[in-house]
Structure 1
């Protein structure tokens, strides 16, 4: 039986639609994602913690869901907004349709709303919080009150911690090629909410992987004898990760290559003295063109962030390498006189093109070069 639902924005705008997922209400910051494919990878990306994802593509769910495309075991997003969800799964890998999948994951969602209008509001006025309420919970006045209260609690929250709690070795759940091959490089990963596909790529590129919590002190990191350090993607305001910023600053005094991705890119920049600012509505999608400043080569990238490096704050120890062709924001940096670099986008690109897989090769080369120096 079809159940009604509505979406209430903090500015009072209301959209009526159909309830998907479980019954209830949920509040979060609304972000729109422009990807046309990869909805399962998007909703299971831990970086969406605390956010409600609105899909601009009018139709999702047509290939169902499977275990291989999960970026994490749970959905960290607070809710899902879409124009329509397919009840039919047309893919040999599918084990469950999308509606059943989000119900199993206990997610609240709404469909059959004008996502084009919603996107226009967010682009024009900037990001804002919203509340999805299913039929028995629908109350606009209470929704707005709860949104304002939720914003206050989010503002006062000092940090977000969804990464692992203890140091652990990582191997794929299912065998992939080279699984029995002796690993040449040891990558220690600061886990702020890392996507599984990033780990898979590193593993396939002959790396042994150790995951560590976001607050792990530098002494512990050094004792693990890493070939390189990865600062992972993750949710929230990078300026709140004060311990990670301090640790990264100390690590830059050691000759260990560091590779930052998305949130990790911003943490690396902060540790070098740059400033971070919040964007009007962020970048979320798999069709974002960036350009290498020096070669002029263009790459199509996957993006998912609400913060960016303040261009006016770049210190002398940073070289900007990539910029967005959408809004000219900084998309990549290297550290002068140190084998470290970072990118704002997601080079693993799930979903998306594999244009920037070369950045993983760059990380491997830096580790190889450093180990050669130490030999």
Structure 2
């Protein structure tokens, strides 16, 4: 909720005759532009992403459930769209905000105009707005609720949209993993994409991993398989007994959306049982936060979050700095971690916790996205570290 009010100018309606879209924020800010994609309106937490490529992967990342993405890069659409760059079959984001009109595709992998892809996937977007101004607003005021409305007639009830934004409860306390998790257990053996062969297939199985899907990106599963893992993917609510029926060599806790404390209500008892087995565990993003909670740590809602493919993270064990891809609005409270859990990585932007490891168990997790989809590949070694932990544990 907010006590902000709409200005008299905002209530007057569209400033130009050809306006077909409007973005109304919960602080009373109104941005007029040009709607595209589906008609209607959509609501969510508005956040900004600083990546200069990978818009299709971003929109289909399940971690963006409940959010509207404000792209800071002004030219969106030049790669087009294709079926290979999806992180899940259906977009998880609730809408998108871009500076310029969607550009024409100029990439040999494009099989569909991005504007058509957005419309076919029933997403609502707005262009022609000052995305840098929106970014500054988020940096100043923190996470805001936004409503995008797209009407070909250009007629909008701005006051009603503002009221809608003010009444939306926000992501604090919201469990969204159940909305994006898989419905049935599935096997995964697809490996990473290459320019010559496309996606590969697992050939030599080194270990069997059970991946708990809180909103897993497909490329994370591909990276696990790339290291030689047969992967069995189970839903976020699968019981510990059902997980153990697969006789895993290790557990993977995936990324996902929403408040980790809310998801933890059903996830933490299962994760604590995983810890007691002594088997290796690896967590990414939401999985990282849930792992910290399982060891008695705490999480908190960040002022603006981290989202982009240019975030510097330092490995405190080696001093090495990695450029990473990130997408999170909650963080682990480093001061809340017990003595047997150490901080392995930190953000060089704000010193927030980006990695933990357990001193007496083969368990670790990171906040960043080492699958690099989109983003740099500096952190792929973390998948290899997980496989090394499994191989060592199998020889005990």
1:193 equivalent in structure 2: 215
Residue 22 and residue 366 in structure 1: after superposition, are their counterparts in 2 closer, same or farther (change >3 A)? Answer: same
How many residue pairs are counted as aligned between the two chains?
372
Q: Which secondary structure does the structure 2 equivalent of 1:253 belong to?
A: helix
Residue 38, structure 1, aligned to residue 54, structure 2: yes
Residue 155 and residue 342 in structure 1: after superposition, are their counterparts in 2 closer, same or farther (change >3 A)? Answer: closer
- Aligned partner (choices 124, 128, 142) of residue 112 of structure 1: 128
* Partner Cα separation in structure 1 for residue 311 and residue 236 of structure 2: 28
- Cα displacement (A) at 1:96: 0.8
2:190 equivalent in structure 1: 172
- Cα displacement (A) at 1:149: 2.6
* Partner Cα separation in structure 2 for residue 272 and residue 155 of structure 1: 21
- Aligned partner (choices 223, 226, 231) of residue 204 of structure 1: 226
TM (norm. structure 1) is 0.95
- Aligned partner (choices 319, 322, 327) of residue 299 of structure 1: 322
- Aligned partner (choices 144, 163, 174) of residue 128 of structure 1: 144
Contact 1:3 1:134 survives alignment (8 Å)? no
State the Cα deviation string for residues 146-194 of structure 1 (Å, max 9, x = none).
Answer: 1223227x66755541101222212439986762624121110000110
Residue 261, structure 1, aligned to residue 284, structure 2: yes
**Structure 1 unmatched ranges of 5 or more:** none
* Residues 274-353 of structure 1 aligned to structure 2 (within 5 Å): 274-353=297-376
1:4 equivalent in structure 2: 20
- Aligned partner (choices 104, 109, 112) of residue 93 of structure 1: 109
Contact 1:2 1:19 survives alignment (8 Å)? no
Contact 1:81 1:111 survives alignment (8 Å)? yes
* Partner Cα separation in structure 2 for residue 269 and residue 171 of structure 1: 29
Structure 1 runs (4+) greater than 3 angstroms displaced? 154-160, 171-178
State the Cα deviation string for residues 311-368 of structure 1 (Å, max 9, x = none).
Answer: 2212112110000000000000001211010000000011111000000000010010
Q: Which secondary structure does the structure 2 equivalent of 1:20 belong to?
A: strand
1:151 equivalent in structure 2: 169
Residue 193 and residue 315 in structure 1: after superposition, are their counterparts in 2 closer, same or farther (change >3 A)? Answer: same
- Cα displacement (A) at 1:255: 1.7
* Partner Cα separation in structure 1 for residue 175 and residue 118 of structure 2: 29
Contact 2:172 2:258 survives alignment (8 Å)? no
Residue 223, structure 1, aligned to residue 239, structure 2: no
State the Cα deviation string for residues 71-128 of structure 1 (Å, max 9, x = none).
Answer: 1111111100010143411011101111111000000000010001100000001111
Contact 2:174 2:258 survives alignment (8 Å)? no
Contact 2:173 2:262 survives alignment (8 Å)? no
Q: Which secondary structure does the structure 1 equivalent of 2:167 belong to?
A: helix
* Partner Cα separation in structure 1 for residue 362 and residue 244 of structure 2: 16
Q: Which secondary structure does the structure 1 equivalent of 2:211 belong to?
A: strand
Q: Which secondary structure does the structure 1 equivalent of 2:306 belong to?
A: strand
- Cα displacement (A) at 1:370: 0.7
1:142 equivalent in structure 2: 160
- Aligned partner (choices 50, 58, 77) of residue 61 of structure 1: 77
- Cα displacement (A) at 1:132: 0.5
* Partner Cα separation in structure 2 for residue 177 and residue 84 of structure 1: 33
Query: Which has the higher mean CA deviation after the structures are superposed, 271-280 or 160-169?
Result: 160-169
* Partner Cα separation in structure 2 for residue 22 and residue 298 of structure 1: 42
State the Cα deviation string for residues 246-276 of structure 1 (Å, max 9, x = none).
Answer: 1111111112100000000000000000000
* Partner Cα separation in structure 1 for residue 231 and residue 24 of structure 2: 43
Contact 2:287 2:365 survives alignment (8 Å)? yes
* Partner Cα separation in structure 2 for residue 176 and residue 228 of structure 1: 28
State the Cα deviation string for residues 41-97 of structure 1 (Å, max 9, x = none).
Answer: 111111100100000011111110111111111111110001014341101110111
* Partner Cα separation in structure 2 for residue 312 and residue 51 of structure 1: 29
TM (norm. structure 2) is 0.90
- Aligned partner (choices 246, 250, 254) of residue 232 of structure 1: 254
* Partner Cα separation in structure 2 for residue 272 and residue 176 of structure 1: 40
